């Protein structure tokens, strides 16, 4: 199992979000705060100076495994193993911690919310807060020095909002029995508006992106597949979709729901019995299905070129297996590299490579992952009543690697490589 290193901030919060170098905190006292995440990590380094470099690598620079140079360096088995041992040692022996008072002076307020927050999403340098009484928006106003100057919360929809999702120039709102509502962000300065008059469906509890398409979940295990029409930007066009925010958007959704496929159509070729599904969710390419027997199956969603429709592949993979007597129906889920996170009533579980690890063993307020982020893609945030915990997952398992000095070198073009006679004796591996 990949090791996980944690650090916590002792604070009474309902939710949190990492975005653009900032930590946003939905406080239990009604305040919506933000603070530079770099300053938070620097404070952590100050409190634990002996682990300064390790802290920066683990919690601030998840891009360490990206890029060609990193792939070459960590592609050497011996180097990868050393880093993994360090990560494992930190996971077993250390749990970093800050008090809110340590960062309180650095925190700034966006405003107060007056209704129970149910979801938060940041996209296109805008913050959306879904509440029991409506949807609120704050523009982050990115300045020339890359600092933000958020506007006060402004209500943009009057109705219960359970979930907020955004991608490809669009924002989708799960409004329970008011349906699935959509809106678009054409540029940074325009006023955001939802199309309240034309809901995409009768009910929406949550959504999940399938690249430019969308899964809408009407229940824990019931969903429809929404095929969306999109525009592909040319390479000669402006690189950044937003005028001030540095977010690349090559594909922009033009129209939602040009085709909608229900479960009867989606499962007509699958060996998965949809009646046995107790909870389902998706990544950008696959559907995940928690079954009544405790197993978790996944299968790709494919396009049927002849019928011009979509279906769930007949080949499913057993992603994980739990004892059906101890597994409950998940409350929420999120995707992480090579795995997923499942929230249950009494625990939060990380599943990777057919193995599971409990991140916490009690009920929580929220769980989030940040796979679309470069710097935070291996981080999961878990919010309890009295603390926010950041879990950083070891992220080198997906890289191909091989020994620097193989014991039995393979001949190249018929020539045996020349090996120093001391190899294997003096070298440390």
Q: Choose the most confident range, by mean pLDDT, from 63-77, 152-166, 245-259, 306-320.
A: 152-166
* CA–CA distance, 343 with 100 (Å, rounded to integer): 25
DSSP letter string over 344-364? Answer: -SS-EEEEETTEEEEEESS--
Poorest-pLDDT segment among 122-131, 217-226, 381-390, 391-400: 391-400
Coil vs helix vs strand at 49: helix
Residue given tokens 């170098």 in the structure block: 21
Q: Give the model's pLDDT for residue 422.
A: 52
Domain boundaries, given as residue ranges, for the chain: 124-261, 271-327
Rounded percentage of the chain residues whose pLDDT exceeds 90: 56
Tokens coding 262: 């229900």
The pLDDT of residue 399:
54
Residues 99-123: tens digit of each pLDDT: 999 999 999 999 999 899 999 999 9
Q: How many CB atoms lie within 10 A of CB 134?
A: 17
**Confidence class for position 428, pLDDT limits 50, 70, 90:** very low
Indicate whether 52 pLDDT > 70: yes
Determine the Cα–Cα distance for residues 347 and 358; give it in Å rounded to an integer.
7
Give pLDDT tens digits for 311-325: 899 888 888 888 776
Looking at 219-361, list the stretches that DSSP marks H as alpha helix, in order from N- to C-terminal side: 263-266
Average confidence score pLDDT of the chain: 86
419/292: higher pLDDT: 292
pTM across the whole model: 0.88
**Whether pLDDT at 75 is above 90:** no
- Tell me 51's DSSP state: G
């Amino acid at each position: 199992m990949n090791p996980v290193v944690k650090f916590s901030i002792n604070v009474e919060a309902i939710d949190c979000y990492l975005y653009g170098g900032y930590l946003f905190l939905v406080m239990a006292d009604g305040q919506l705060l933000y603070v530079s995440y770099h300053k938070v990590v620097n404070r952590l380094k100050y409190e634990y100076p002996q682990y300064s470099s390790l802290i920066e690598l683990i919690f601030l620079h998840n891009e360490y495994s990206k890029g060609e140079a990193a792939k070459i360096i960590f592609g050497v088995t011996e180097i990868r193993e050393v880093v993994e041992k360090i990560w494992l040692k930190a996971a077993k022996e250390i749990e970093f911690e800050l008090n809110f008072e340590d960062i309180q002076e650095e925190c700034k307020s966006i405003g107060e919310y007056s209704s129970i927050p149910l979801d938060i999403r940041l996209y296109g340098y805008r913050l959306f807060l879904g509440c029991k009484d409506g949807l609120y928006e704050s523009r982050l106003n990115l300045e020339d020095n890359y600092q933000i100057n958020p506007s006060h919360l402004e209500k943009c929809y009057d109705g219960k909002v359970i979930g907020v999702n955004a991608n490809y120039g669009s924002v989708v709102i799960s409004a329970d029995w008011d349906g699935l509502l959509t809106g678009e962000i054409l540029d940074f300065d325009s006023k955001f508006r939802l199309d309240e008059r034309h809901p995409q469906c009768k009910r929406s509890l949550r959504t999940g992106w399938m690249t430019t398409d969308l899964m809408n979940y009407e229940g824990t295990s019931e969903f429809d597949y929404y095929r969306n029409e999109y525009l592909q930007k040319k390479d000669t066009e402006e690189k950044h979709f937003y005028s001030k925010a540095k977010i690349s958007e090559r594909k922009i959704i033009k129209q939602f729901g040009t085709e909608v496929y229900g479960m009867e159509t989606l499962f007509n070729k699958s060996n998965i019995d949809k009646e046995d599904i107790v909870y389902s969710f998706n990544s950008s390419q696959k559907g995940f299905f928690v079954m009544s027997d405790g197993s978790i199956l996944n299968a790709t969603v494919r396009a049927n070129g002849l019928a011009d429709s979509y279906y769930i592949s007949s080949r499913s993979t057993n992603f994980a297996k739990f004892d059906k007597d101890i597994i409950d129906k998940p409350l929420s889920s999120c995707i992480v590299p090579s795995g997923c996170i499942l929230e249950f009533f009494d625990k939060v579980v990380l599943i990777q490579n057919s193995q599971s690890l409990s991140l916490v063993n009690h009920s929580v307020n929220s769980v989030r992952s940040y796979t679309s982020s470069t710097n935070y893609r291996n981080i999961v945030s878990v919010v309890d009543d009295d603390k926010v915990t950041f879990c950083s997952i070891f992220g080198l398992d997906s890289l191909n690697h091989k020994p620097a000095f193989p014991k039995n070198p393979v001949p190249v073009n018929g020539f045996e490589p020349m090996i120093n006679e001391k190899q294997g004796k003096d070298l440390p591996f």
